[in-house]
Structure 1
Amino acid sequence: MPVHTVKESYVDVLVIGAGPSGLMCAHALVRAGENVRIIDQRRVHLHFMAGHADGIQPRTIESYALADRLLREGSQMHMATFYHPSANGGIERTGRTADVPAPTARFPFKVTLNQGAIEAIFIDSMAAMGLEVERPVVPASIQLATDESVLKNPHSYATTVVLRNLAAEPDQADTEMVHAKYVVGADGAHSWIRKSFNINMDGAQTDFIWGVIDITPTTDFPDIRNRTAIHSHNGSCMIIPREGDVVRLYVQVDPSDVLDPMTDRVDKARVSPEKLLQTAKKTFWPYKIHAEKFDWWTIYIIGQRVAAQFAVHERVFIAGDACHTHSPKAGQGMNASMSDTHNLAWKLAYVLRGWADLSLLETYEFERRKYAQELIEFDKQFSALFSGKPRTQNNQDGVSHEQFLDAFNAYGGFTSGIGVQYGASPITNAQHQHLASNLVIGERMLPHVFIRAADAHPFNIQDMLPADTRFKLLVFAGDTGDPCARSRLQKLADELEMADSFYVRFGGRDPTQVFDLITVSSATKERADYTDVPPMCRTHWSKVLLDDTDMFGRAGGRGYDTYGIDSVKGAIVVVRPDGYVGVVASIDNIADLDAYFGGFM
């Protein structure tokens, strides 16, 4: 029998749940050098299991500096196809289009890979930094301080969580009392954290029931390797190509086939993967599809809900499925979940380091709850269109191909993550939007290729904006070969060095640990030198870029135009640690930046 003694420990952040959202949070915090622990009730991680979430959207690929392995292991979806009932009673293709209708996407495709493999990318990276998921460990109780002085002290251990080790050896303590400054509940749709604080999930359940099967098919269907939406007289189906030869089918199910008539609840015993494939075969006709085995399967009712709150006193947070649930067919669940904690992690780091007040953490719920509500509204419309009966000669009230395609394209920016925009807050200020008219403040920084002044090496600007908890100060200085532009840049450098500037006030002994300053000149590579830029504005030789093409004219150039920045007046673009544009200011007036950073740091 395990030893029933209680040990005590202290940690800055305790993450509960090692799914994609929790792993994103823990990975970001340990990478930032913060004191974090992550627990999970599963004895093994999903790397050894098939199924679950599988789609990574373009914005997610951009965000997390782990794209290389994801692109190497996953399958890419570049094209989407659509099928509708044909005159002969079967289905026929009605169109093809880009799977990601978002022209500014750096990666204009989705990547599919099983959730276990995606989790493994984070787990392996964390292990290299000395952090392991503790499993199987579950929370048994949580207590939040009630003393206002404790809650308002960002460095106090305001939460106490009792953990149970489900696999404790006979000579090990099976219970631990953890004192944490902050707790992140990334513990799924049935979140223990959410229920512990009586946080309601607002929303409703639909009448749409879907089954999911992962198979390696034998088929004559020509679009089996494209994301495909099929509307048929027999119901709807979506095809998601997966890694290798695997394909995922989402199959619409007749409620009468799966609901228990006594309870009106889904009875999984009434359905099987074989039955789901039989339903799919009817939907695919006149094409044939067959599979010898099933890697994974499940069944679900579409529900759309958002938690009434995402935080408790800015000490306990919920993220991912714990605070929003919706249908999986638009590929939003895992992406939205990881984006939640991508948004939260850098803010926790700033408060833990004493760089920002607790109020910064209020922007997590402000930004992510609004997004979740927008996601639910989208999901309601998309699910209804996808699950609805197709329009035919005998059913003019049904969903037409044009309706579905219009919705698919209209929501492309949202579903890809590219068009997500955060509203006005202390960290998002659109007062001077006109200085960079095409960089939408509150949206992610647009990708573009610039070249390094020192050696003409081309770089996508996003590769110079890693999620390393630093604010990026992009100084678009104009033509640094021009004496007037150099004079303005020198004036900026002098102002940044003043004791009362935001750069010195909030940068501490080494401002480069807080701010990463990159100068972008409009001078040409033939005559520009990186030494044209004052030392203050080139903290390293690699931090001076040119808005010019590479040596063969294949990439780069016209960056000022792309961003809507005047090539003479220039501008300063501040990119938040999560890659979103926070504010734009004039080179001639850094008082605006003093006010911006002074609002939360």
Structure 2
Amino acid sequence: MTIPAEAESSVDVLVIGAGPSGLMAAHGLARAGVNVRIVDQRPAKVAAGQADGIQPRTIEVLQSYGLAERLLREGNQMHMAAFYNPSPNGGIVRTGRTADITAPSARYPFEVTLHQGAIEAIFLDSMAAMGVHVERPVVPTSIELSADKAELKDPHSHPVKVVLKCLAPTEGQPETEVVNAKYVIGADGAHSWVRKSFGISMDGEQTNYIWGVVDIVPDSNFPDVRNRCAIHSTNGSCMIIPREGDKIRLYIQLTDTDVLNPETGRVDKNKMGPEKLMEVAKKTFYPYTMHADTFDWWTIYIIGQRVASKFSVNERVFIAGDACHTHSPKAGQGMNASMNDTHNLIWKLSHVLRGWADMSLLKTYEFERRKYAQDLIDFDRKFSALFSGKPRTSAGGDGVSHEEFLQAFQTFGAFTSGIGIHYAPSPVVHTQHQAHARALVVGQRMRPHVFVRAADARPFEVQDLCPADTRFKVLVFAGDTSDAAQRARVQALADAVEQGFYRRFGGAEPGKVFDVLAISSAPKDKVDYTDLPPVFRTHWSKVLLDDTDMFARVGGGGYDAYGIDKTKGAVVVVRPDGYVGIVAPFESIQDVDDYFAGFMKA
């Protein structure tokens, strides 16, 4: 076979690594119309095993891209958690059951479990419909970032040079290619080549906790085999994660003698296999039986808790996912944190590439996601210690009690679900008027609620009206628009919006940058959508009401739920990633102008 000489090309964004984080990035960028390529060294997508838990907030995020329906159809839902502890009579006994997720405002108040390959397939199929495919097996062999400051500050330049090597070139395909990129995203896992190429350190430590994981279809008389279970026994700890179909995943605590090579002190997989993992599990489950004939997937790991010292190099090369944070998998955070990293980055890159935003916007990626990763490691340290710790028994006073573990499980609920993620004040998070929407926390995601459309009384979940389409959603809570005096206030606000940020940063087609929705507190029998000024009803579907549907089954109570005054109203700006950026009273609309002026180009 003749292989042609090295090729050379240019691209806006090159994504290295096609795990969940890289696929989220490539999919979201392609959907935004960005020229993106994604490469991976694996010859095929993951077939089984790996990460498998999708948290409530991540389901909301996937819904914002139109991907949640398939996930919910194919995956298993976890609604209940059960807890087992040592029995006074030997073996284990159930000490309680509770909701799997402690997050009252969750739109999807459960976790979904589905193997990583199936989750990746959801992205791959959607990308294929847009003509984007993962190039494999391809590895980067060198990466070089320009040191020219003028080039780095030029949004149109391609300052990153990456040499790619195709491991299985076809006839006529070059073996190597030089790619000149505006931006590179390293989503290439815990042993990230991109991170190492720039000498970015991982700060943290390795624990002494060793765990085995095995995916099975169980033959068992254990009554909670279809619930998430935290099992503390005198033989060690175990967790059950029910999966799609009849499958379950077992996390099994191991001892040093089980898996460590005494000469090297390192984990030796040859000392352990799925059959031996099941032998350990059987002792933990006594007096219940737990048996399996076949094993879908298994692995062993030592929990490491580390965060990268930085998440970007000159805002041109970014790292995301396991490349910048590692932790235990038992709280189901790895894949979720990874996908939400690039979800945070997608809209920021898109705005900069379109010339809508200043490159300084990209600094907020590291600011927001590194703080989250540090919080995640702090949480994981506590959770892993509780989970891996010795259980308290009636005979001994030390160890972890059921009450301690349950309290921690519920206290951490807002964090593990992703619902409580809170970004600190920054150019894209302004908190000065928080009091005008007390329960819509600036820096947190837009809370779900059902409103009805004024034109036809059809109910809609507000999150579905705020998709991840790179537009800022400007929600105008217009108050009681059946009152003439309030309509005059709304008209004055509309004039200020038109003369302010809407035209200043939206240009000739502001609808491409801003999606404006008006939400009236007046009842459906008193409102015409045509009552609202044109800028607040650019389409008949853009006017909503805080009222119930025609049969009073859903809707209503939104102003109260959000802590907004029903007569005065407020303006709420939701970022393209679904997080509240600023709230303001009508009279302070200038502060919304100033908010956008902080990072957008007129």
Fold in common (TM above 0.5) = yes
Corresponding position: 1:36 with 2:36: yes
How far apart, CA to CA, are the structure 2 residues paired with 1:299 and 1:436? 47
Letter in 1 for 2:438: S
> RMSD between aligned alpha carbons?
0.8
Aligned to 1:223: 224
Helix, strand or coil at the partner of 2:382: helix
Aligned structure 1 segments of 4 or more residues deviating by more than 3 angstroms: none
Aligned to 1:57: 55
Aligned to 2:556: 557
Aligned 8 A contact 1:4 1:175 in 2: no
How far apart, CA to CA, are the structure 1 residues paired with 2:173 and 2:38? 20
Helix, strand or coil at the partner of 1:343: helix
Superposed displacement of residue 589, structure 1: 2.5
Superposed displacement of residue 575, structure 1: 0.3
Superposed displacement of residue 422, structure 1: 0.1
Helix, strand or coil at the partner of 2:6: strand
How far apart, CA to CA, are the structure 2 residues paired with 1:350 and 1:395? 59
How far apart, CA to CA, are the structure 2 residues paired with 1:91 and 1:219? 15
TM-score (norm 2): 0.98
Letter in 1 for 2:510: P
Mapping of residues 118-517 of structure 1, within 5 Å: 118-498=119-499, 501-517=500-516
Superposed displacement of residue 4, structure 1: 5.7
Helix, strand or coil at the partner of 1:485: helix
Residues 169 and 430 of structure 1, relative CA distance in 2, 3 Å threshold: same
Aligned to 1:599: 598
Aligned 8 A contact 1:426 1:596 in 2: yes
Helix, strand or coil at the partner of 1:516: strand
Helix, strand or coil at the partner of 1:408: helix
How far apart, CA to CA, are the structure 2 residues paired with 1:207 and 1:16? 31
Superposed displacement of residue 395, structure 1: 2.6
How far apart, CA to CA, are the structure 2 residues paired with 1:440 and 1:97? 27
Superposed displacement of residue 171, structure 1: 3.5
Uncovered stretches (5+) of structure 2, i.e. residues with no partner = none
Residues 369 and 546 of structure 1, relative CA distance in 2, 3 Å threshold: same
Helix, strand or coil at the partner of 1:506: helix
Residues 491-546 of structure 1: CA deviation (Å, up to 9, x unaligned): 11112222xx1111100111010000000000111121111111111111111000
Letter in 2 for 1:532: D
Residues 222-244 of structure 1: CA deviation (Å, up to 9, x unaligned): 00000000000000000000000
How far apart, CA to CA, are the structure 2 residues paired with 1:148 and 1:394? 67
Superposed displacement of residue 556, structure 1: 0.6
Superposed displacement of residue 2, structure 1: 5.7
Aligned 8 A contact 2:472 2:575 in 1: yes
Aligned 8 A contact 2:190 2:323 in 1: yes
Helix, strand or coil at the partner of 2:128: helix
Letter in 1 for 2:289: K
Aligned 8 A contact 2:30 2:36 in 1: yes
How far apart, CA to CA, are the structure 2 residues paired with 1:412 and 1:252? 23
Amino-acid identity (%): 69
Aligned to 2:586: 587
Aligned to 1:23: 23
How far apart, CA to CA, are the structure 2 residues paired with 1:387 and 1:23? 32
Aligned to 1:13: 13
How far apart, CA to CA, are the structure 1 residues paired with 2:389 and 2:240? 17
Corresponding position: 1:519 with 2:518: yes
How far apart, CA to CA, are the structure 2 residues paired with 1:11 and 1:170? 24
Uncovered stretches (5+) of structure 1, i.e. residues with no partner = none
Aligned residue-pair number: 597
How far apart, CA to CA, are the structure 1 residues paired with 2:253 and 2:286? 15
Helix, strand or coil at the partner of 1:209: strand
Letter in 2 for 1:51: G
Aligned to 2:566: 567
Helix, strand or coil at the partner of 2:107: coil
How far apart, CA to CA, are the structure 2 residues paired with 1:289 and 1:422? 43
Aligned 8 A contact 1:488 1:588 in 2: no
Letter in 1 for 2:10: Y
Superposed displacement of residue 393, structure 1: 2.6
Letter in 2 for 1:56: I
Superposed displacement of residue 170, structure 1: 4.8
Residues 402-456 of structure 1: CA deviation (Å, up to 9, x unaligned): 0100100000000000000000000001000000001111000000000000011
Aligned 8 A contact 2:11 2:182 in 1: yes
